[in-house]
Chains A and B, each alone.
Chain A
Amino acid sequence: MIMGANIGTTITNTLVSLGHVRNGTEFKRAFAAATIHDFFNLISVVIFLPLEMMFHPLEKLSRWLVQPLLGGASMDMGGLNFMKAVTKPPVSMIKQGLEGMGSLWAGIIMAIVGVIMIFLVITLIGKLLRQLMVGRAKKILHTAIGRGPVSGIMSGTLVTTLVQSSSTTTSLVVPLAGTGVFTLRQIYPFCLGANIGTCITALLAATAVSGENAIFALQIATVHLIYNVLGVVVIYGIPYLRELPIKAAEWLAELAAGKKIFALVYVVGVFFVIPAVLIAGSAALDKKKPEAKPQITALQISEKAPETKSFFN
Chain B
Amino acid sequence: MNSTTRRDRLEAELRDVREHVESLEAELQKVVTEEQHETIDHLEDHFDAVENRFKGLRDFWKALISESSDKD
Contact = CB atoms under 8 A, between A and B. Distances in A.
Interface string A139-152: 00110011000000
A19 B37 contact: no
Contact of A19 (B29, B43, B47, B55): B55
A18 B57 CA distance: 6
A22 interface: yes
Nearest to A186: B36
Given A21-B63, A171-B50, A260-B63, A15 B56 contact: yes
Contacts of A137: 43
Contact of A181 (B39, B57, B63): B39
A182 B37 CA distance: 10
A174 B49 contact: yes
A16 B49 contact: yes
A264 interface: yes
A119 to B, nearest CB: 16
Nearest to B67: A260
Nearest to B46: A175
Given A260-B67, A261-B68, A181 B46 contact: no
B16 interface: no
B43 A16 contact: no
B35 interface: yes
Contacts of B5: none
Given A16-B56, A18-B59, A142-B37, 9 more contacts: A15-B53, A15-B57, A21-B56, A168-B47, A172-B43, A176-B46, A181-B35, A260-B63, A264-B60
Interface string A6-40: 00000010011011111000000000000000000
Contacts of A260: 60, 63-64, 67
Contacts of A130: 47
A259 interface: yes
Contact of B50 (A18, A146, A172, A259): A172
A12 B53 CA distance: 8
Given A12-B50, A15-B54, A261-B68, A145 B63 contact: no
Interface residues of B, number: 27
Which of A21, A134, A167 gathers the greatest number of chain B CB atoms within 10 Å? A21
B29 to A, nearest CB: 8
25 contacts: A12-B53, A15-B53, A15-B54, A16-B53, A19-B52, A19-B53, A19-B56, A19-B57, A19-B59, A21-B63, A22-B63, A134-B44, A137-B43, A138-B40, A138-B41, A142-B37, A145-B33, A175-B46, A176-B39, A179-B39, A181-B32, A182-B36, A182-B39, A259-B67, A261-B64
Given A12-B53, A19-B59, A172 B39 contact: no
Given A145-B37, A176-B39, A264 B64 contact: yes
Instruction: Name the 5 nearest CB pairs between A and B, nearest first.
Output: A19-B56, A18-B60, A15-B53, A21-B63, A171-B50
Contacts of A16: 49-50, 53, 56
Interface string A256-288: 000111011000000000000000000000000
Contacts of B39: 176, 179, 181-182
Contacts of A145: 33, 36-37, 40
A269 to B, nearest CB: 15
B57 to A, nearest CB: 6
A264 B60 CA distance: 9
B50 A168 contact: yes
B31 to A, nearest CB: 11
Contacts of B29: 146
